[in-house]
Amino acid sequence: MVIRKKTLEQLNRESIEHLSRSSIVTALSPGSAARALVEASNRQIADFYEVLETAVSQSYISLASGAHLDLIGQTLGVIRRTEETAIVEADDQNLRFYVEDGTLGQRLPHGTDATKGQIPSGTVVTSRDGTVTFTVQEHHNFPVGTREAYVSARASAVGATGNVGQRELNSHNLGVIGVLVRNEQSVNMGRDSENDESYRVRISNRLLSVQGANETAIRMSLMAIPGIADVLLSAGTAGAGSVRALLIPESNRVPLQVLDRVRRQIISVAAYGIRVVIEEPDYVPISLTVQLSLASGSVISTAALSAGAESQIKAYLGDLRPGDTLTANRIRLAAMQAHGQIEDATIIELCIDRRPVMIQNFTLGDEQVFLPDDRFSDPIRVL
């Protein structure tokens, strides 16, 4: 339905012209009683045009927004995704408390059991820049003789602001000298409330997905899980009636908790008797060293510029999908985009699959993604 909206000026002009042609009313000059009545009525009509235009436009998926889009989605059984808090699980072996000499249990003893050590509930771990904090949710006990322990924790901030990059969590509030902490992989399970564009796409795909356990239904159900950037589906890879789901993480590895959610979610959409094989991509370790050239008279500290460039490079590597090409110039550009004071960036060392390679482009395989080399504490170095 198309609404031909008229402005207040247009309504007044057409009404005055009609009265002058079709009635005995002639006193239509500004300030006259007849003109005042016409303008007062037309003002109400103009306001109604505004309301009508909004109401009509918000009834279409392509134009609706906010609460109006929510109403359309609810009609089709599609609910807007809400915020989720970033968490790490001990089973993922990500958030690690450790010591470089002695044992962890000596520094963090259990209150009542001499054979165990304990990381108490409420322990707060903070990121390098102090903007992100995670809190240990329950007491974590471990053998007294161990040198490291992995814990579960939840971000203090709700949504994507609780996400943090690899090895960014590096301080705690235990007040015990010699006890170190860091996250071995990035944490990106935090999610903001779904925006209109993403929600609109899911609503549009709803009509196809409700037809049954087809490709769209399976893919859309898995894409709703935080930490999943894409899902590559292929049929018949494990025999007739099988489907293979290759999970592409938003960055680094697919967390174990995501794999568990995927297995539960896919049961609700896959056809009965269909075998679904869930797999992670092949991870290709990468490490590199980049040298920055700064503008003369730069007032920004070198450490801050290096940290910003490192973050940009990691974001670029995390965005590469299977079959994409790693471009040396894009690495340089990512580093330079960190700040205007960076005039140039030079790649002085590049290792792929734990082997030094020439500084040139590298194309990932159809099932490969890059993963910062876990052999190094700082696989992406910016000097």
DSSP string, 218-262: HHHHHHTSTTEEEEEEEESBTBTTEEEEEEEESSSSPPHHHHHHH
Question: What is the spatial distance between Cα 317 and Cα 330, in angstroms, rounded to a whole number?
Answer: 10
Q: 3-class DSSP state for residue 67?
A: helix
Question: What is the spatial distance between Cα 170 and Cα 173, in angstroms, rounded to a whole number?
Answer: 11
Question: What is the spatial distance between Cα 250 and Cα 189, in angstroms, rounded to a whole number?
Answer: 9
φ/ψ of residue 226, rounded to 5: -60, 145
Q: 3-class DSSP state for residue 307?
A: helix
Q: 16 to each of 34, 36, 50, 86, 236, how far by Cα in Å?
A: 9, 11, 22, 64, 73
Question: What is the spatial distance between Cα 78 and Cα 298, in angstroms, rounded to a whole number?
Answer: 51
Q: 258 to each of 102, 262, 339, 344, how far by Cα in Å?
A: 35, 6, 34, 39
Predicted pLDDT at 211 = 55
Predicted pLDDT at 136 = 92
Question: What is the spatial distance between Cα 49 and Cα 32, in angstroms, rounded to a whole number?
Answer: 26
Would you give the end-to-end CA distance of the chain in angstroms?
61
pLDDT tens, N- to C-terminus, the chain (383 residues)? 556 777 888 887 777 777 777 776 767 777 777 777 877 888 888 888 777 777 777 767 777 888 888 887 877 778 888 888 888 888 888 898 998 888 898 899 988 888 899 999 999 999 888 888 999 988 999 998 888 889 999 999 888 888 888 788 889 999 888 899 988 888 888 888 888 888 888 777 776 555 556 667 777 777 777 777 777 777 776 667 677 778 877 766 777 777 777 777 776 676 666 677 777 788 888 888 988 888 777 667 777 788 888 888 888 888 888 888 888 888 888 888 888 788 888 888 889 888 888 888 888 888 888 888 878 777 888 88
**What is this structure's pTM?**
0.51
Question: What is the spatial distance between Cα 100 and Cα 372, in angstroms, rounded to a whole number?
Answer: 22
Predicted pLDDT at 2 = 54
Tell the residue number behind the tokens 């938003």, with chain if given.
250
Q: 3-class DSSP state for residue 339?
A: coil
Amino acid at 346: T
Question: What is the spatial distance between Cα 267 and Cα 290, in angstroms, rounded to a whole number?
Answer: 45
Q: How, if at all, do strands 169-172 and 140-143 pair?
A: unpaired
Beta strands in 74-156 (DSSP E): 87-88, 95-98, 116-119, 124-127, 133-136, 140-143, 148-150, 153-155
Confirm if 154 and 100 have CB atoms less than 8 A apart. no
Quickly count: other Cβ atoms within 10 Å of residue 132's Cβ. 22
Q: 91 to each of 22, 96, 166, 186, how far by Cα in Å?
A: 84, 11, 17, 15
Q: Which residues does residue 249 pair with via DSSP β-bridges, in sequence order? A: 228
Predicted pLDDT at 305 = 81
Name the strands in the sheet holding 153-155, side by side, starting at the edge strand that comes first in the sequence.
87-88, 153-155, 133-136, 124-127, 169-172
